[in-house]
Structure 1
């Protein structure tokens, strides 16, 4: 307990709870598992990954993923194999597709905990685990049927192995120990490469080079870089599938993935996800919520320590914090200058921030600055029933108007008062001066996870994705040929269990389109007519037939 804090029965009970495994279990349940089994798959990313997996299994081709009968070159194969194994076990369901991400996030959390035990102790490990589990973006990544939880796991394992290898090499440990470390690192690099390609190798290579250079320990770095048994293991993991996809598709995957989705994605804006060098300065506070203010309070301290720690020092804590800061800065800087920017990209560099926060727990210093960003966020969440109608009144775009109208209705029920729980708890924690700041933020994080993933998330996703899931079920019951016209919702094909080609419909076919484009569809297919069989929100499912005669 901090000497300036007076102990009380309540504060002692909170301290015991946050030091126990039950707090970590509760954080995982609220942030990772809550509603992951029931929320509709989200488009575009979840829908695209899961439909590619479904088509891969339906064709019996486990080498080349396809999406709507077109080869999908966005990612390598590992995530599709993991999802295929999961749905084989659990069946075609939201949980079946999301289980690999949930398992990867739990393994990522476990790896973080073990690393902190080795280099900081149990309290550091416990706090780091709570911070990671309750950070807003980690919760989204953990329950999303995409490749990012898997990639974060392998990047973390590679980075942790690199630092452990550095410590062992610096301390003169035997060759057998160093070889085991390097084998583990190269295995993580290979599996990461098979998950999302060169990014899984790029960051560990650059971060390790900078860190070993700052520590004046190039000999150990060169030894690791040219450890040929490790490269053989890496190639044994990566090459077999690349050979198989070459035999199946020729060089199409290599041109599509390595040139378009790696070189092209960095140099050109893809899918409208452009940004600026300041994009992640704005995104990072939301990604780390509710711990944004905590990071702001300790950032000056971290900067001073990184600046003044003597180069080449053998001081373990100083070296560890330099390694963690280097890891974060490299990832942050790299994506800040990318032409394609998405919030979850910078999560690859957030694992070291979780550890740094745990190594610098706040007690009384910087209380209001630590709580201020979270309080603002909580007030926005609580104000959604009033903010959404204001936004709906100002928009004139048809799609946005329909979605906002649905959200206004969804947030107008009795459950809206649950949103007030978050700002009330945050304000209470901030005013409770006997409670250490970090403990109040963690308790607020538990409430944030319950509100975001138990109240806000389900309402938003039900409005944006619920109509797609229902339309797919209606189409499946009606049977027959179904096409999509000027709408891209790959989860529709997942729920319908069939490919949905994009084209103008013909007589006797069902067509999925956006409600605001329904009139355009009628003009495009004239003299045929389209009669709605399902319409909700922005989604319309219609049957096309010949024009009726009077």
Structure 2
């Protein structure tokens, strides 16, 4: 067991090295630019209560990640590493919480297997180095689950149970501060479904309500009170618009079919994709005769509710499903520990076929791109993707071979290693697309023509990464989208029409503007507006006054 523990420690160190290697990639649109810029403005202004994006009030999400990243910026400077630090930290804490939970519920070997499953889930590992709010939400929900399951496990004394439930309530509070009310809705739904299906309403007596509510309110409530007092418009926008209207309507224009998350679920745990039906069935049936709290069923209820919740929602994005994956790691890891290795090998071999087919289909993707610029970018990314695909295919095939010989832990370690290399290759390939996905190059050129008095416009367009790299806010022109509330509160910070921009551009003083190429060619040049082009690519152009 000591040698196995050392093996997984080495893999954890490798995961950390891979993570650090991918943190330097240029920030991408839209999420990475948006959340990094909000944090930058918070650190610059010193206003830790009212989040602002491009100088405008922004109440779509709570501030926990903004706070953490703003502190990171203040201590270590503003760059890609510090922008991604909190996300990476939450990923590591999620891995630890997964190991800790399984070690309490089962044994150390099964805990290592479950942690290895999460490490070998490409979806989880990739999102651990991307600036979204979903890893923070996932982290604190997993901490809440760890505290809850510890409290309900056999042999837990009453004082320990209360302390563990205190951790669960604190995790839910931090989840709420990460992404809103789902931080408490998801755990509450799982508990309700458990009580309903198992007729175990006595569970409600073991939740340490008094102590728990006090902890929850002490952590979560102060910011909501302060931001509501400072901004009367906050409560309706956040609780009604960002929760009920986002779920029930399609106004956010993120409409996808009900099955949207099915391929994300299966390909997210790529090496284990074909085990999911068997894992779900075996985990549920394993607790038909309950002698202790049925944690496997509870994990499935937790994951199943989140999956169905987002599948039914009118707003869907790929990262929304992330909180499901630590739960899947628990039950898959437990299934691996209880399943004969030769049988596990049968589930891995078809994955190799799927990957090879995917590589064959994707090989011609660069040639199918519409523009030469995009074809060139995709072409530079292709070798990294292919190399990563080959490595994970060989790793899974090698693991299947060792499983057929009766090994268990070493094959998992090989799958983890292959997945880490695969994720690193994919991230390196994605970095090749950064001229298309990021405004870093445009901002670098623009900085040469900007001083504190320069007016900066963003016309009919907003590149989320541009203000972060420029270290300046821009004046929005004829652009609303997610800025509707902020512009309504402070209309003078924006220009409503391109005509208003044309007149403002003519004022004395230096000015630059960023826009999409079509606007420059079709509207502004024919209007005879004096402009000098200083940067151009197929996504954006930047001009300055002569």
- Which TM-score applies when normalising by structure 1? 0.85
CA 1:67/1:258 → structure 2, altered by over 3 Å: closer, same or farther? same
Counterpart CA distance in 2 for 1:246 and 1:142 is 32
Q: Which residue of 2 aligns with 1:370?
A: 348
Q: Which residue of 2 aligns with 1:140?
A: 126
Question: SS of the counterpart of 1:274?
Answer: coil
Do residues 536 (structure 1) and 537 (structure 2) align? yes
User: How big is the shift at 1:452?
Assistant: 3.1
Q: Deviations over 1:293-336 (max 9, x none)?
A: 23345344335446xx14xx2246xx121111111111111111
Q: Can you give the 5+ residue segments of structure 1 that lack an aligned partner in the other structure? A: 1-11, 396-400, 546-550
12, 30, 34: which is aligned to 2:21?
Answer: 34
Paired residues, number? 510
Counterpart CA distance in 2 for 1:411 and 1:174 is 55
433, 443, 446: which is aligned to 2:414?
Answer: 443
CA 1:188/1:465 → structure 2, altered by over 3 Å: closer, same or farther? farther
Counterpart CA distance in 2 for 1:278 and 1:232 is 39
Counterpart CA distance in 2 for 1:372 and 1:249 is 55
190, 195, 220: which is aligned to 2:203?
Answer: 220
Q: Can you give the 5+ residue segments of structure 2 that lack an aligned partner in the other structure? A: 478-497
The answer as to whether partners of 2:105 and 2:153 remain within 8 angstroms in 1 is no
The answer as to whether partners of 2:458 and 2:514 remain within 8 angstroms in 1 is yes
Q: Which residue of 2 aligns with 1:9?
A: none
Q: Deviations over 1:375-399 (max 9, x none)?
A: 4235534764x3223422xx5xxxx
Q: Deviations over 1:207-227 (max 9, x none)?
A: 1122244444322314527x2
Q: Deviations over 1:457-502 (max 9, x none)?
A: 2332342456510111111121132222233221110000000222
Counterpart CA distance in 2 for 1:73 and 1:520 is 35
CA 1:407/1:418 → structure 2, altered by over 3 Å: closer, same or farther? same
Counterpart CA distance in 2 for 1:47 and 1:113 is 32
The answer as to whether partners of 1:381 and 1:419 remain within 8 angstroms in 2 is yes
The answer as to whether partners of 1:274 and 1:339 remain within 8 angstroms in 2 is yes
Counterpart CA distance in 2 for 1:521 and 1:220 is 66
CA 1:378/1:35 → structure 2, altered by over 3 Å: closer, same or farther? farther
1:88-99 map, 5 Å: 88-99=74-85
User: How big is the shift at 1:358?
Assistant: 0.8
- Which TM-score applies when normalising by structure 2? 0.85
Question: SS of the counterpart of 2:439?
Answer: helix
CA 1:208/1:402 → structure 2, altered by over 3 Å: closer, same or farther? farther
Counterpart CA distance in 2 for 1:284 and 1:193 is 24
Q: Which residue of 1 aligns with 2:316?
A: 341
Q: Deviations over 1:177-218 (max 9, x none)?
A: 332122222211212111111100001111112224444432
1:82-481 map, 5 Å: 82-167=68-153, 174-224=157-207, 227-250=209-232, 252-305=233-286, 309-310=288-289, 313-315=290-292, 319-361=294-336, 363-365=341-343, 367-381=345-359, 384=362, 386-392=363-369, 395=370, 401=371, 404-411=374-381, 420-430=390-400, 433-434=404-405, 436=407, 439-440=410-411, 442-453=413-424, 455-465=425-435, 468-479=439-450, 480-481=454-455
Counterpart CA distance in 1 for 2:213 and 2:384 is 59
Question: SS of the counterpart of 1:512?
Answer: strand
User: How big is the shift at 1:113?
Assistant: 0.9
Question: SS of the counterpart of 2:330?
Answer: helix
